[in-house]
Amino acid sequence: MIAFIRGKVFRYTSDYAIVDCNGVGYKIFMPNPTTLNLQQEVLIYTYEHIREDAQILFGFCSLEEQELFERLISVKGIGPKIAINALAAGGISTIVEAIESGNMAYLKSLPGIGNKAASQIVLDLKGKLVEANDDVKDNDELLDAIDALKSLGYKPKEVNMIVKELRKSSATTVDAYIKEALSIMAKQKGV
């Protein structure tokens, strides 16, 4: 399996880029390859899709993008072409936010995704993508608080759903983050 390719952009179209890696050109389908420049040195993370009649490389500029792609194709009815087109039309954070909030209208607006596929995506992936959207580097206190909540018996899904709110918190200690987290969870449960 090819994990990544490092080389120079030889050519690109609206669907794929050809990357020259030591004299071998790899055709890599990717979201928005037109953002690349000719002769630019690139590192592209890849997903190798092998079918009976084809061997296709899909490429990504970040590991987060690759992970979201792999999560999307794990959903029944979503193939690699639909997933790559969805990533091209939306962005990682926008798609993850739509899945987490159950924004069916946005998901249905992505190319190739209808009502049934959008419902299946939300059903399969909601609550599982928070880590995939970790653009923000969390401080040690917040990470320790998250670990503490999980060790107290809170499910990872419950904790992951409030991480975004905890990042906005003014807390600076582990105890303060834990108190804030418990308060948020109590409000969500209507206590």
Cα–Cα distance, 183 to 167 (Å, whole number): 14
Higher pLDDT: 38 or 139? It is 38
The helix (H) or strand (E) run that includes residue 57 is strand 55-60
Q: Span 136-188: which CATH code?
A: 1.10.8
- Predicted confidence (pLDDT) per residue in 167-187, tens digit: 878 888 889 888 988 888 888
What tens digit of pLDDT does each residue of 31-71 get?
A: 989 889 999 999 999 999 998 998 999 999 888 889 999 99
Q: Which residues of 105-134 are buried (b: 16+ CB within 10 A; e: fewer)?
A: ebbeebeebeeebbebbbeebeebbbebbe
Identify the pLDDT of residue 126: 87
The CATH class of the 67-130 domain is mainly alpha
Angle at 134 between CA 128 and CA 140, to 5 degrees: 110
Going from N- to C-terminal start, the domains of the chain cover 4-60, 67-130, 136-188
CATH code reported for the domain at 4-60: 2.40.50.140
